Amino acid sequence: MSKTDKIQPHWWSKTLAGVFAGFFLALGLVGIFAWLGPTGLTEQITPEQRSWKTQFNMWMIAPLWCLILSFVYMFKTGKQAWLYLGSGAVLSIAIVYALRSYL
């Protein structure tokens, strides 16, 4: 195995990409699910349904974030991890803001 095949040189940047960009990606994905999932976050649902749905979405962030963080080491470089996770985070949060203004 050559030095270019090793994963260790990029593990700090991959970990930081998973922690920071992965967190915002998880927030964006859960936000998209919150707006587009069953009943959405519209005014037609009862306060009890809204409370249950917001709690469910809140608790889904941590497992999704951990899943992203665990798979971040499959990227070849830290730069690639930052690029893909950061782009996904920006795109998902932009979609959430678009859904908020549209729905």
* Percent of the chain's residues with pLDDT above 70: 89
What is the chain's mean pLDDT, rounded? 88
Mean pLDDT of all residues in 43-53: 77
Which pair of tokens denotes residue 60? 């889904």
In a domain, residue 76? The reply is yes
pTM: 0.85
Q: What does the pLDDT read at residue 45? A: 74
Q: What does the pLDDT read at residue 43? A: 64
In a domain, residue 39? The reply is yes
In a domain, residue 5? The reply is no
Residue 76 predicted with pLDDT over 60: yes
In a domain, residue 42? The reply is yes
- Rounded Cα distance between 26 and 28, Å, is 5
Q: Which residue segment(s) compose the domain that 18 sits in? A: 12-102
Q: How many domains does the chain have?
A: 1
